Amino acid sequence: MKLEVVDVCKSFGTHLVLDKVSFTAESGSAVGLLGRNGAGKTTTIRIIMGFFPSDSGQVLLDGKPLDPHEVKIGYLPEERGLYPKKNIGEQMIYLARLRGMTAPAAEKAARTWLERVELGEYFDKRLDTLSKGNQQKIQLALTLINDPDIIILDEPFSGLDPVNALMLKKLIREYTGGNKLALFSSHQMNQVEEFCDEIALLNGGKIALAGNLREIKRSYPRDTIAVSLDCPASEANRAYAQLERVTSSDDAARLIVSSERRGDTLRLKLVSDDAKNELLSVFLRAGVDLAHFDVLEPTLEEIFIAVTGEGQVADR
């Protein structure tokens, strides 16, 4: 399946919130819709979900306009909330039935999913007896309860502790592994980076950057290397001195533009992308015990900040 957002524009009053937003998401991949607060992530998702119409542009599924009621979509809205005063099992069954499941299937799925998010014993408890984080997990379970073909998660990581965030990542991984389509929004770049295949970066209502994350990263210069030696922590200073001795040798120095110490790691900016193999052979000849020798890619966070502009306030 292929979900395409094409030239979507949306204004609230006189305020242009989305300006020709376009990106694509395909089955088997997780697409991260990234951006600062107020960049237009939730608005984009709400338009995809048909919560309100766009002013212009289209949302297509396999080339045809998307009708969210026709396709099995698991949606986790940004505004979390169910029925606080009702039993958890009861409302899970209800919402699963609304999504087309039969009552017995809905009950079975509700119990299975509660087990999966480790809240199995709460089937007959009221929702408001759970902590906020656990309520969030219930909502996540609900998103996946009817085995949807597409999942759309708006800020799924907000409010989750690291263990639960890990569980969520596993769920999404598993899910996209089954050749399904996942779209989620986030402003927490470190959470997204590990498992997001594609990104669409929104800034001020415009797509600032979109595409495969690895390719985007590769498109940045690959001339910075991080090196460290394999040694116990107590000998870090000695190891570092050894590193400096190698890099200041004539063979190495002509390849290096600048160097910077980060803990026991040395970051080296090279004269060109090609210089890294030559530098590696210098290290090997020197006979040092390398722990790693990496091409330093920009982190998603660095890309994000570079694109959205540090300190610059993005309006809604």
Partner 1 sequence: MKQFSAIFSFEYRGIVKSKTFIVVTVLLAVLVAIALSLPTIIGWFSSDDEPVDPDTEITAHILLADGSEDGSLGEALPAYAAALSAALPGYEFDTTDLSGDELTDAIDGETADGAVIFSSMLDARYVVRSSNMYDSVSGVLSEVMRQTYLSFAMAEHGFTPEEAAEVLSAVPTVETVETEKSFMSAYACTYVMIMFLYMAVLLYGNMVLTSVATEKSSRAMELLITTVNPSSLMFGKVLGVGLAALTQLIILIAVGLGAYGINRSSYDAIPIIDEILSGITPEVIIYLIVFFILGFFLYAFMFGALGSTISRLEESNTASTPIVFLILIAFFISMTAMTSGNTDSLLVVISSFIPFFSPMVMYVRICMGFVPLWQIVVSVALMVGANVFIGWLAARIYRIGVLLYGKAPKLGEVFRMLRRSKQ
Number of amino acids touching partner 1 (CB under 8 A) = 24
99 binds partner 1 per the rule CB under 8 A: yes
Residue 316 lies near partner 1 (rule: CB under 8 A): no
What is 58-81 written as a DSSP string? EEEETTEE--TTTS-EEEE-SS--
Q: Indicate the residue among 106 and 216 with the shorter CB distance to partner 1.
A: 106
Of 152 and 208, the one with the shorter C-beta distance to partner 1 is 152
Supply the minimum distance, in Å, between the C-beta of residue 83 and partner 1: 6
Residues 29-88 that bind partner 1 (CB under 8 A): 49-52, 68-69, 73, 75, 77, 79-84, 86
Query: Given the complex with partner 1, which of 84 and 133 has the nearer CB atom?
Result: 84
Using CB under 8 A, pick the residue from 16, 58, 94, 217 that binds partner 1.
94
Distance CA 223, CA 257 (A): 10
Within the chain, strands assigned E span 2-12, 15-26, 30-35, 56-61, 64-65, 73-76, 150-154, 181-186, 198-203, 206-212, 224-229, 256-262, 265-270, 290-295
Interface residue with partner 1, options 98, 166, 253, 295 (CB under 8 A): 98
* Closest separation in Å from C-beta 184 to partner 1: 16
Residues in the chain: 316
Burial of 224 from C-beta contacts in 10 A (0-12 / 13-18 / 19+) = buried
CB 218 within 8 A of CB 303: no
Q: Does 125 bind partner 1 (CB under 8 A)?
A: no
Report in angstroms how near the CB of residue 187 gets to partner 1 at its nearest. Answer: 19
Q: Contact, 199 vs 34, CB < 8 A? A: yes
Q: Are 59 and 211 in contact (CB under 8 A)?
A: no
CB closer to partner 1, 49 vs 60: 49
The binding site for partner 1 (CB under 8 A) comprises 49-52, 68-69, 73, 75, 77, 79-84, 86, 90, 94-95, 97-100, 142
